[in-house]
A and B are shown apart, each in its own frame.
Chain A
Amino acid sequence: MTESATLRPTSAAADAAELDAARPRGRRRPRRGALANPAVRVALGALIPLVLLGIWWALTIPGAAIVPPYRFASPLAVWQAGVDLAERGELGRFAAISLQRVLLGFAAGAALGLVAGGLVGLSRLFESLLGPFLGIVRAVPSLAWVPLLIVWFQIGEQSKVILVAIGAFFPVFTTVSLALHHVDRGLVEVARAFGRRTLGTFLSVQLPSVLPAVFTGLRLALVQAWLFLVAAELLGASMGLGFLLSRGQSNGRLDHILLAIILLAVAGKLTDSVLALVQRWAARRWS
């Protein structure tokens, strides 16, 4: 009896008291009132786009002549242009090729960014070797690459995918290398003290520590990927949403321009939402 008493001096009640003391740490402030309702939040989020749509529609009422038609296309005209392009098969082809370029470039750039960020974040040698060089490359404005890539790779798929990859590389590289620098040294020491070697330490401590940051970097990279895609397609393409933009500009097709902008917004938001879901899961799982 005395043995078990010394062995378990912390009674269940004491544990409960300790837990109570621990509870307030790191809790998120609960949402209150009407904002607790998801439907209300969705409705609030949709409010400004709907108001803008209304203003757009009002500005372009035929005959009202608030804005002349050659300056602005009505929502209906944009919708019809979309239907028209879709019937000709162009819309699907353009959207698909743009998405393909973004995804390929994003995958390549993010993968390279992970590797380079990992090397620079984990190794002093690679930090000294790669850090300054990548800092310089990073300072080159994105559009400056376009002529070079076109000379080297012609106006094919390669030049566009490479440009998108350049865009996706840096956000991932930067967030991963920085996050690795800030991994809790105490935890790294624990890994060492419990017999983990370099790879074991990386897999059990460093990688889980930086995973939330990795997803932040990936989301930033995706935004950059779409940005660089449009740059690539504006400056030399025969297909894609960026091409729809530049063709609309030269033909004076405002409906096509507005359609392309809306499609880019939707595509960017959708792809970002997918990553946001993964990020939220990762943040819960790894922190």
Chain B
Amino acid sequence: MAAVELGDRLAGLSLGRSTPATVRVTGLGRAFGDRPVLEGVDLEVAPGEIVAILGASGSGKSTLLRIVGGLDAATAGTVTIDDHVVAGIDDRVAIGFQEPRLLPWRTVADNVAYGLPSGIAKDAGRARVAALLELVGLDDFAGHRPRAISGGMAQRTSLARALARDPGVLLLDEPFGALDALTRMRMQDLLLGVLDTAPTTVLLVTHDVEEALQVADRVVLLGTEPDRAGARIQQIVTVPGARPRDRGSAELAELRAELLAGLGIDRHAH
């Protein structure tokens, strides 16, 4: 019940562009010098869809995310968000990084407020920050400094900051990678709850197959082929079953083995 009310409150505070956006990646390539990292990546993400990008380290998954977010520029191809070509930082996109990257001299609430779009009225901004803190369960810690909260709480603050931007697309770069296993699972559930309340299109970069299967509608497997240097999409898997999914289901276990094999890990080896 509380969640529905909170969703209404957030919707009431919306800034007119919080509808989830379509992300279209076309023929995308990125080379650092003459070393290609990504080659010919094509991907379309529907509004409100959660897509996990899975790959071994060095497979260019973070690079792909940074290009979609405008923090990096492609050397080939384009990214469009709702038919606008991405060139530089886009105000419909918000990013959550692997490290929370909070400003240590600001309180939790002020860090969330840092994500507010420019030009928002003070009262509306304050109300939005309060609603987001409640959404991520940090309303009691609004006045704390980042160094006085735990890693999981810092990551929740970072998530709230990204949502403060009222994004059409939320980009998450291994946001839970540095957390312990239990906190990570809790954060995955929290993310899904948050997205129920404040829906947006999500691209989630992860190296954790479990996480991808738990959170995503579709899983994109990035990897290199033997005679090519740059990574491309190896496989796109639609994850069956409605969320929240049973972490122990046999169907997911099968998919998990398949994706691990795609990452180069033999299922018989463990």
Contacts and interface: CB of A to CB of B under 8 A. Distances in A.
A4 B1 contact: yes
Given A14-B186, A193-B89, A193-B95, A7 B135 contact: yes
Contacts of A49: none
A179 to B, nearest CB: 14
Contact of B103 (A6, A18, A204, A285): A204
A26 interface: yes
Interface string A7-39: 111101011001101110110000000000000
Interface in B14-51: none
B193 A3 contact: yes
B114 A19 contact: no
B196 A3 contact: yes
A14 B153 CA distance: 11
A9 B189 contact: yes
A1 B149 contact: no
A10 B152 CA distance: 10
Contacts of B135: 7
Contacts of B156: 10
Interface in B129-188: 135, 137, 140-141, 147-153, 156, 161, 165, 183, 186
A6 B192 contact: yes
B189 A193 contact: no
B213 interface: no
Of B105, B141, B156, which is in contact with the most chain A CB atoms at under 10 Å from its CB? B105
B4 interface: yes
B2 A18 contact: no
Interface string B103-147: 111000000001101100000000000000001010011000001
A269 to B, nearest CB: 29
Interface stretch (A61-69, A167-175, A183-191, A271-279): A183-191
B251 interface: no
B137 A18 contact: no
A286 interface: yes
A140 B94 CA distance: 51
Contacts of A8: 137, 190, 193
A198 to B, nearest CB: 13
B105 A285 contact: yes
Interface in B211-270: 244
A9 B30 CA distance: 39
B105 A286 contact: yes
A280 interface: no
A194 interface: yes
Most buried by B among A4, A193, A194: A193
Contacts of A12: 140
B197 interface: yes
A195 interface: yes
B85 interface: no
A248 interface: no
B3 A3 contact: yes
A193 B71 contact: yes
B60 interface: no
A192 interface: yes
A186 B97 contact: yes
B105 A7 contact: no
A192 B193 contact: no
A10 B1 contact: no
Contacts of B104: 287
Given A18-B183, A195-B89, A7 B2 contact: yes
Given A22-B149, A204-B114, A287-B105, A4 B2 contact: yes
Contacts of B148: 19, 22-23
Contacts of B137: 7-8, 10, 15
Contact of A208 (B97, B105, B161): B105
B91 interface: yes
8 contacts: A4-B1, A6-B244, A7-B196, A10-B186, A18-B152, A22-B153, A204-B114, A205-B103
Interface of B: 1-4, 6, 69, 71, 89, 91, 94-95, 97, 99, 101, 103-105, 114-115, 117-118, 135, 137, 140-141, 147-153, 156, 161, 165, 183, 186, 189-190, 192-194, 196-197, 244
| 3 A-B pairs closest in CB distance | A18-B150, A7-B193, A22-B150
